[in-house]
Structure 1
Amino acid sequence: METDNKESIIDYQYKALKDGKSIRLLYLHTSSSYHQLPIEVSLCEFPIDACPSFGALSYAWSIDDDPAPSDRELLCDGASIKITKNCEAALKRLRRPKQDQILWVDAVCINQADLEERSLQVRLMRQIYTQASWVALWVGDASTAVDEESGLPLSDLGMDFIHDFAVEIAERTNSGQALNEGPLYQEFIKDRRAFQYSESEVFAPRVRGVWDVFHRNWWKRLWVIQEVALATDPTLLCGLKAETFHNLKIVIKALIRSEQPVDVMEFNSLFIAHTFHQFHVRHMIETGTMGKISPPGIKALDILNATRNTQASDPRDKIYGILGFFGPPATDTENIFPDPDYTKPAAELYADVSRAIILNTKNLDVLSSCYGFFKSTVPDLPSWVASWNDTPVQYFDGKIFNAAGSSTVVYEDCGDKLLMRIKGRHVDSVKLAGQIPDSIGYSNEACIELWRYWWKFASTLDSYPTGETVTDVFKDTLCWGSHLDYSRQQLGENKESFNAWLEILTGTDDTDIAAKRIFNDGEPFKYAHRATSVTWGRNMSITNKGYLAMVPIITKADDKIVIFQGSKLPFIVRTEDGTSKLGGPCYVRGMMDGEFATEEDAGAMDELEWFTLK
């Protein structure tokens, strides 16, 4: 039971580590009672290459999206180390009655108040998690919500369901039976349609339990991705339940396999969306797709994009939290990152990384997710710098386009780390931008109203510069020329679903009825579903040369359309007082495949101009 000792306990004083190759390990002392507090520990320093057998803890500092106060404490050799409630819960779960546990726990083993030490310890994360004998993935205590029939926490039911589901999948796979006919698979997907219009309470208790486990804050945390990916055999812990990560992988792989109806695939993908980063990156390692990639910079960008939707309390950790996937810069040419330095502002760090990727790859793929007209969570971030701390407004793969042809970046150092000076060709300008309401919730009804306006807007064009019909170009533009799986869409594809969609859109139904008819999973829904994702954060515009363009939402008349050397996409650029701001990529049918590319010969290069991006 918890002690009532109110005497003040002095704070633990960390001793400086001997060098950059040492770590501290936590000795978690025994207790005869699971609930006994405070937890007693000791810390010992070891060279990273001469550690005793130890386990590592992977956990989220907070159990929700709010910063967790460090209002709990460990008793370390008679002194106090402040920790969060979730860290305390994890250590209680791992504590044993008869034998000390030797662990590595970041919040305790690193002196978090010492920025220099934090910078040095980050470089050792790769070794720590690969050397750990076991890794516990703590997602939190059992849920407080219980199943009325059994009286058990929903998360307990969910953990049991995951185990049983993995067994069913393995058995049916080995015997050649269809996975989608398995009873647990059917139980998992049976409420998918009701879920579209309701919350997770529509699920049966066991599936609600899986939802509970898969939506813990741990899954959103950036640092856990490398902790999972580098671990030899990690185990997921939730309350008193445990499940191997291998079994979770079996379940996730089965749920997102391509041989499923589209509506089932999309429901499953939405259900497991929070977990995808951990499985995706670990799969990249296991299959060798994260091995040597040439040229340097491509692997860095791939991992940064794969981990982009995760969370870190410090935006610099969106960079430092993936360094475990790289060796030292001196021996790993793929490591194009600067050394960890927690004194460097996040904007400068992001600029250093974006520039390094551009100079190493000699292309501008990293700019595909830059939307300089939007406010970033990173203060003072330049418009040309990717904000890995923000969710990108991107539902396409820029690599499937080739706006600048075979050209490579033409770069000039301007002596300012926060400026990027590159060459490009001003090919067109925005003439008219569609009206945007003051507030858009992107509900089904809001999308209907926006699309109706855009259709009338586009219909003012009598013809199109490429000779294609305005209707075909509109269909293509509203989908950013690509499918939901980000593959390239041919102009004649999706005509049946588009025509069904357009018939309702241009009909006499009011907004509510039109929305119900279009978003009812029928033929019009196939087109609407793709168009919806591209609609978010964008507007439609008409250019001076008569092209239709999908542009960042606050694009204005007279903004330039520029194709930079080495870019796969055209970009919106706004120039004032000699410097330019990158608004973001745009889609312009007739400019996406090198039609306005400038070849790198002396005559053609005269068509280019320097842009100093701020």
Structure 2
Amino acid sequence: GDPGPTFPFLCDGAVLQISSNLNLALHRLVSPSDFRYLWIDQICINQKDDGEEKATQIRSMHLIYGNAENVAVWLGEAPEGMQHALDLIPSIQNGLNNIDGIFLVNQANFESHGLPEVSSPVWQTLGAIFGSSWFERLWTLQEVVLGRKLKFQMGSYLLDWDVLSSLAFRIAKANLSFHMRGETAMPKDRAGGFTAVQHIHYLRQTKAEFGYISWPMLLEVARTRACTKEVDRIYAITGLLTGATVSALTFVDSVIFACSGRRYFSTKTGRVGLGPTDIAPGDLVCVFLSGPTPYIIRQPQRPSNYIFLGEGYVHGLMNSEALDMMDQGVVQSETFELE
């Protein structure tokens, strides 16, 4: 979240502290004469709770975004010259339509395609739109991929998603994002938004056409976005996965937990299992008559009691199969004295 200063916010009789960015957004998004329901993660999810309540809320975010009537995206305050830049977007798109590949940034080329001058502040204003830090954040991906209707707002200006997407593709196709970043007045960190918009477009299109987004595709997009905690690179995108994929992830978590601190082994008869980390060739698998699981023991090098190493998992011996084998005469019971 935003580590900067906070502002008091009265909600349902309680005073909450919200970030300066959210404070600005609420003043722009809501007027005193307005009455509408808003769901804002910073307010509706207890940010101080790192327990089950917060985890449950995070798991429900995809349902909230997917069923929302509108998803409002706040890009920050508008830069100078915003209205002029928005007015010129249609003509800029027309000028970029016939450009394919490398486009040399010089006045003659811009004039021949009906584009604003190379040094025009319009390019810097457009760069400020796509340079919003919103495009860099990983947690914002879920809301725009799942949202049915998107409303982008910068200051008091509303921006249409289709217009933003179309403009970003045309600028990228003309190879202008690099030139806008490097050869005009736009700061060098302002090209990320062009790529981010294209990523969002592809994810929305893929989900609309196929009903799901592949795990590798999500990882490719997620790695380019920023988040405060590295572990959030997984949690921030699980809501974009299908139920089957999420179940698979839960299964993987269970496997990791079960295998942690364990070592794989195989027996002389071809069975496989997991045992203590110090298990070694020659150790024995035993099923105690009163034990709930197989155990691993070690025969000492000199005459003495056997060494107890710990419990194990042996595939095919976890459900009383050893007792059935003893009844059939396949194995016999023995007495072991343990240290």
Pairwise TM-score range, normalised by the shorter structure: 0.5 to 0.7
| CA-CA distance at 1:205 after TM superposition | 1.0
1:327 matched to 2:242: yes
1:93 matched to 2:28: yes
CA distance in 2, matches of 1:290, 1:269: 33
| CA-CA distance at 1:256 after TM superposition | 2.2
Q: Check whether the contact 1:74–1:82 (CA below 8 A) recurs between aligned residues.
A: yes
Residue 310 of structure 1 corresponds to which residue in structure 2? 225
CA distance in 2, matches of 1:292, 1:241: 32
1:81 matched to 2:21: no
CA distance in 2, matches of 1:102, 1:127: 16
Residue 165 of structure 1 corresponds to which residue in structure 2? 92
Query: Residues 85-484 of structure 1 correspond to what in structure 2 (within 5 A)?
Result: 85-115=20-50, 116-143=52-79, 153-162=80-89, 165-166=92-93, 168=94, 178=98, 187=115, 191=118, 203-257=119-173, 260=174, 264=176, 266-267=178-179, 272-288=191-207, 291=210, 299-328=214-243, 332-333=244-245, 336-338=248-250
Q: The residue matched to 1:80 in structure 2 has which SS?
A: strand
Change (3 A) 1:183 1:131: farther
Q: Check whether the contact 1:215–1:274 (CA below 8 A) recurs between aligned residues.
A: yes
| CA-CA distance at 1:185 after TM superposition | 6.1
| CA-CA distance at 1:103 after TM superposition | 0.5
Change (3 A) 1:283 1:335: farther
Which residue identity lines up with residue 14 of structure 2 in the other structure? A
CA distance in 1, matches of 2:110, 2:276: 63
CA distance in 1, matches of 2:39, 2:134: 17
Residue 432 of structure 1 corresponds to which residue in structure 2? none
Q: The residue matched to 1:336 in structure 2 has which SS?
A: helix
Change (3 A) 1:132 1:292: closer
| CA-CA distance at 1:104 after TM superposition | 0.6
| CA-CA distance at 1:269 after TM superposition | 8.6
CA distance in 1, matches of 2:111, 2:53: 52
CA distance in 2, matches of 1:265, 1:219: 15
Change (3 A) 1:314 1:206: same
Q: Check whether the contact 1:142–1:156 (CA below 8 A) recurs between aligned residues.
A: no
| CA-CA distance at 1:307 after TM superposition | 1.7
Q: The residue matched to 1:104 in structure 2 has which SS?
A: coil
Which residue identity lines up with residue 276 of structure 1 in the other structure? T
Please identify the structure whose Cα radius of gyration is greater. 2
Residue 439 of structure 1 corresponds to which residue in structure 2? none
Change (3 A) 1:268 1:307: farther
Change (3 A) 1:284 1:78: closer
Note the alpha carbon deviations across 1:196-249, whole angstroms, 9 max, x for none: xxxxxxx41111101111112111111111211111121211111111111111
CA distance in 1, matches of 2:253, 2:120: 49
CA distance in 1, matches of 2:88, 2:194: 17
| CA-CA distance at 1:139 after TM superposition | 0.7
Change (3 A) 1:413 1:72: farther
Q: Check whether the contact 2:127–2:180 (CA below 8 A) recurs between aligned residues.
A: no
Q: The residue matched to 1:256 in structure 2 has which SS?
A: helix
| CA-CA distance at 1:136 after TM superposition | 1.2
Q: Check whether the contact 1:235–1:243 (CA below 8 A) recurs between aligned residues.
A: yes
Query: Residues 41-52 of structure 1 correspond to what in structure 2 (within 5 A)?
Result: none
Q: Check whether the contact 1:285–1:291 (CA below 8 A) recurs between aligned residues.
A: no
CA distance in 1, matches of 2:132, 2:10: 28
Residue 544 of structure 1 corresponds to which residue in structure 2? none
Identity of aligned residues (%): 25
Which residue identity lines up with residue 240 of structure 1 in the other structure? S
CA distance in 1, matches of 2:54, 2:83: 36
| CA-CA distance at 1:119 after TM superposition | 0.6
TM-score, scaled relative to structure 1: 0.36
CA distance in 2, matches of 1:231, 1:109: 18
| CA-CA distance at 1:266 after TM superposition | 4.6
Change (3 A) 1:282 1:212: same
Which residue identity lines up with residue 249 of structure 2 in the other structure? F
Change (3 A) 1:334 1:97: closer
Change (3 A) 1:157 1:80: same
Q: Check whether the contact 1:74–1:81 (CA below 8 A) recurs between aligned residues.
A: yes
The unaligned stretches of length 5 or more in structure 1 are 1-60, 144-152, 192-202, 340-350, 357-411, 417-614
Q: The residue matched to 2:225 in structure 1 has which SS?
A: coil
Which residue identity lines up with residue 138 of structure 1 in the other structure? W
The two structures, once aligned, show a CA RMSD in angstroms of 3.6
Q: The residue matched to 1:102 in structure 2 has which SS?
A: coil
Which residue identity lines up with residue 267 of structure 1 in the other structure? H
TM-score, scaled relative to structure 2: 0.61
Q: Check whether the contact 1:255–1:269 (CA below 8 A) recurs between aligned residues.
A: no
Q: The residue matched to 1:187 in structure 2 has which SS?
A: coil
Identify, as 1 or 2, the structure richer in helix: 2
CA distance in 1, matches of 2:275, 2:198: 41
Q: Check whether the contact 1:135–1:234 (CA below 8 A) recurs between aligned residues.
A: yes
Which residue identity lines up with residue 280 of structure 1 in the other structure? H
Change (3 A) 1:210 1:265: closer
The unaligned stretches of length 5 or more in structure 2 are 101-108, 183-189, 258-272, 278-339
Q: Check whether the contact 1:220–1:275 (CA below 8 A) recurs between aligned residues.
A: no
Q: Check whether the contact 2:91–2:114 (CA below 8 A) recurs between aligned residues.
A: no
